[in-house]
Amino acid sequence: MSTIDLRGPLARVDRWDSQEESQQVRRVEFSRPRWLGSLMVAPLLAVPILWFDQDPVLQTMTLDAVAVGAPALAGIPLDVNPKVQRWLEAFQTTRRPELDDLLQRRGLYGEMIRGKLRERGMPEELVYIPMVESGLSPLAVSRVSAVGLWQFMSPTATQYGLRLDEYVDERRDPVRATDAALDYLEWLYGRFGGSWYLAAAAYNAGPGRVERVLNRHAGGRMGNENLYWEILEYLPRETREYIPKLVAVTLLANAADVIGVNHDGFPPYRYENVFVPGGTTLKSVASALGIGVATLRTLNPHLTLEVTPPGEMFGVRIPLGGGATVVKAMARVGRARRTD
């Protein structure tokens, strides 16, 4: 991240071209076996996928592409079994619009999330967890009041350093929430002995619940990815579908071009930070830039009242290249107030 600090009393700009705000880089060593895509061709060819308006030859070609085209990334095995097959079928038929929407939204946040995963040495398949959790919507709220892309509950959010108050809910901040979620997933990965399946299941159901199931039905064993499938029937219903859905989305996303999914719907999430006085509204910043306030709402979903917290300088995210304009506008406002 390159920074332009204008040292003014009213505002300054942090240009964020590299998609990174945090300077912390963690590396995690993985010993999970690589997924061998070529071994998945035969199981996938058995999937009874009812693709509408597609002849059997094209169906077979598509299944080949899904299996062989998926990258052999270390960390998360992309097992195909009847549970996964059912989601593969659903996403190609009745739930195809949902898949199309998810992959279009991936264009908005995928680059940022993948960059953070690469920094930490974490499997890039984890980019699909917020797709399954929230449909990649920072404004998503679950029936149990989990919020944001990564669906944080309040206690876990505060435990991992996210700000929650009247003005700011960083569970809705795509960048800060991603940092916190990856911290949490790293911790879960270690707690469950190096199993990403169990870590993801614990992310969804809670580590205590998954640990109790392992103690009761797997003799307390951890670390083996196959354990998830062994204890599947003892997990909550949502968590029983969680990993199969995650695997299916990952496989189909890797073959998006081949199966004809449009995934170019949203431009990447990029911005620069302008630090403005407390009490500055998004409307006033948008006015200074000559843009609609909806653009700033998209960049700042964590500003719940669309105004910066009073009594502190606070960073507002704006489109790239507009920082100097906002700083000048804030300076004019400040001079006007001093002369009143």
Q: What is the pLDDT of residues 160-201, one digit of tens each?
A: 999 999 999 999 999 999 999 999 999 999 999 999 999 999
Distance separating alpha carbons of residues 59 and 274, to the nearest angstrom: 50
pLDDT grade for 20, boundaries at 50, 70 and 90? very low
pLDDT grade for 334, boundaries at 50, 70 and 90? low
Q: Are 182 and 122 in contact (CB under 8 A)?
A: yes
Q: Are 161 and 148 in contact (CB under 8 A)?
A: no
Give me the pLDDT at residue 333, please.
Answer: 67
Local structure of residue 4 (DSSP, 8 states): B
Distance separating alpha carbons of residues 55 and 62, to the nearest angstrom: 11
Q: Is 24 helix (H, G, I), strand (E, B) or coil?
A: coil
- In sequence order, the β-bridge partners of residue 80 are none
Q: Which two tokens stand for residue 71?
A: 């990258």
Who has greater pLDDT, 102 or 140? 140
Q: What is the CA radius of gyration of the chain?
A: 22
Q: Are 75 and 32 in contact (CB under 8 A)?
A: yes
| CATH number attached to the domain at 37-259 | 1.10.530.10
267 pLDDT exceeds 50?
A: yes
4 pLDDT exceeds 70?
A: no
Give me the pLDDT at residue 173, please.
Answer: 98
314: enclosing H helix or E strand: strand 314-318
240 pLDDT exceeds 90?
A: yes
Q: Are 280 and 307 in contact (CB under 8 A)?
A: yes
326 pLDDT exceeds 50?
A: yes
Residue ranges of the domains in the chain?
Answer: 12-17+270-339, 37-259
Give me the pLDDT at residue 335, please.
Answer: 60
At residue 18, what is the residue type?
Answer: S
59 pLDDT exceeds 50?
A: no
Give me the pLDDT at residue 275, please.
Answer: 94
**Percent residues over pLDDT 70 in the chain:** 73
Model pTM?
Answer: 0.78
pLDDT grade for 276, boundaries at 50, 70 and 90? very high
pLDDT averaged over the chain? 80
Q: Are 195 and 214 in contact (CB under 8 A)?
A: no
Q: Are 201 and 76 in contact (CB under 8 A)?
A: no
219: how many CB neighbours lie within 10 A of its CB?
Answer: 7
Give me the pLDDT at residue 14, please.
Answer: 39
44 pLDDT exceeds 90?
A: no
237-254 vs 82-92: helix crossing angle, rounded to 10: 60
Q: 125-129, 234-238, 263-267: lowest mean pLDDT where?
A: 263-267
| Residue 117 CB contacts under 8 Å (≥ 6 apart), including other chains | 123, 124, 126, 127, 182
Distance separating alpha carbons of residues 101 and 103, to the nearest angstrom: 6
Q: Are 41 and 64 in contact (CB under 8 A)?
A: yes
